[in-house]
Structure 1
Amino acid sequence: MTLGVTAEQIARWDSELSSLTGSLGHLFNQPEPRAVFAQFNEGLRQSCRRRTGWTLLQRASHVTADRLQRLINGSVREANAARDYVIAHLGCEDASFVINDTQAQEKGTKSVGVAGQHCGLTGIVRNCQTLVTLTYATAAGHAFIDGRLHLPEEWTNDRRRCHEAGVPDQMAFATKPELAITMLDRAHTAHVPFSWVLADAGYGQ
Structure 2
Amino acid sequence: MRHHRRTRRTLAAPLAALTLSVGVLALAGCNILAPAFYVIHGPEKVRKLHELDPNRPTVVFVDDRANRVPRRALRGTIARSAEETLLQRRVLRNVIASNSAVQAVSADRYGSPMPIDEIARAVEAEVIIYATVDAFTLSPDGSTVEPAAQIRVKVIDAVSGQRVWPEDRNGQAVTIRIPQRPGYAPSTRNEAAQLEDELAARIGVGMAQIFFDHERQASARR
Give the TM-score normalised by the residue count of structure 1. Answer: 0.30
Tell which has more relative contact order, 1 or 2 (C-alpha 8 A, sep 6+): 2
Bigger radius of gyration:
2
